[in-house]
């Protein structure tokens, strides 16, 4: 163990952090809209849409992300119609293949999280909104969606953390993110233990920051959960004037 080597390795790996964050944030944002669409399809009541969404979720949740990445990066190029299409310039780039693979995967997992959140909204609140004359779109945007987001935030936070770690697979297709740079350093120095310790510490630091941000957002979005405790403290203070 050499402290100087740890420090130098840390400096070498830092340039890979922006690419890791780009892949994670980009896939989560795109995957959110995909997940919302899939959840809506499953709750639509249309058997065809439900079947398509369920098959999609079954495939992407039931197969390894690494296999999906290989199918997109290596497999799609085997078809002549793909090579001749407008998608070829995109699908031949490792970055876009990795982003697409991560997006499709997180969309499948997140759709089940969002679907569960939408189903958890109390029916009484929806009926009350209808009784007030609210149109369907306003019920969804003002009542159903905000309540569902509050319910799914902890589970969705776990999915965000999972996607940060999943970006390490992008190194398999030559992307120089954190793990890609770490693999190159190992090939140059043959010091796998030290390099992977530094890479793991960087991933841990990123996820600690993300966890803190998620905790702050959850705290801001759920003030009603702290109201009973505050009321109890007020009553306790009134009962003990001293």
Entry pTM: 0.85
A 10 A CB-CB count for 189 gives 13
Instruction: Quickly state the pLDDT bin for 145 (edges 50, 70, 90).
Output: confident
Query: If you compute the radius of gyration of the chain from its CA atoms, what whole number of angstroms results?
Result: 23
Using one digit for the tens of pLDDT, what is the confidence trace for 24-45? 999 999 999 999 999 999 998 8
H-helix or E-strand containing 99? helix 94-119
Instruction: DSSP for 172-203, please give it.
Output: GGT--SHHHHHHHHHHHH--HHHHHHHHHHHH
Percent of the chain with pLDDT over 70: 92
Residues in the chain: 242
Six token digits for residue 45: 């009541």
Using one digit for the tens of pLDDT, what is the confidence trace for 172-231? 998 999 999 999 999 999 899 999 999 999 999 999 999 999 888 888 877 766 655 555
Q: Is the pLDDT of residue 241 over 60?
A: no
Six token digits for residue 186: 């190992």
Q: Is the pLDDT of residue 12 over 70?
A: yes
Using one digit for the tens of pLDDT, what is the confidence trace for 37-72? 999 999 988 999 999 999 999 999 999 999 999 999
């Amino acid at each position: 163990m050499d402290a100087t080597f740890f420090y130098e390795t840390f400096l070498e790996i830092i340039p890979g952090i922006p690419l890791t964050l780009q892949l994670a944030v980009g896939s989560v944002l795109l995957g959110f809209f995909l997940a919302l669409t899939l959840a809506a399809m499953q709750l639509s009541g249309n058997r065809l849409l439900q079947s398509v969404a369920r098959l999609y979720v079954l495939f992407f949740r039931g197969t390894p992300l690494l296999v999906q990445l290989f199918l997109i990066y290596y497999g799609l190029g085997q078809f002549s119609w793909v090579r001749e299409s407008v998608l070829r310039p995109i699908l031949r780039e490792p970055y876009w293949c990795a982003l697409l693979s991560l997006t499709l995967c997180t969309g499948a997992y997140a759709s089940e999280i969002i679907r569960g959140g939408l189903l958890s909204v109390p029916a009484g609140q929806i009926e009350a909104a209808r009784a007030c004359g609210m149109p369907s779109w306003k019920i969804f945007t003002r009542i159903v969606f905000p309540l569902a987001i509050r319910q799914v935030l902890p589970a969705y936070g776990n999915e965000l953390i999972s996607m940060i770690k999943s970006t390490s697979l992008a190194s398999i297709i030559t992307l120089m993110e954190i793990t890609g740079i770490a693999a190159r350093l190992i090939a140059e120095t043959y010091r796998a233990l030290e390099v992977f310790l530094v890479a793991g510490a960087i991933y841990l630091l990123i996820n600690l920051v993300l966890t803190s941000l998620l905790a702050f957002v959850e705290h801001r979005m759920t003030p009603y959960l702290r109201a009973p405790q505050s009321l109890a403290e007020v009553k306790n203070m009134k009962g003990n004037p001293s």
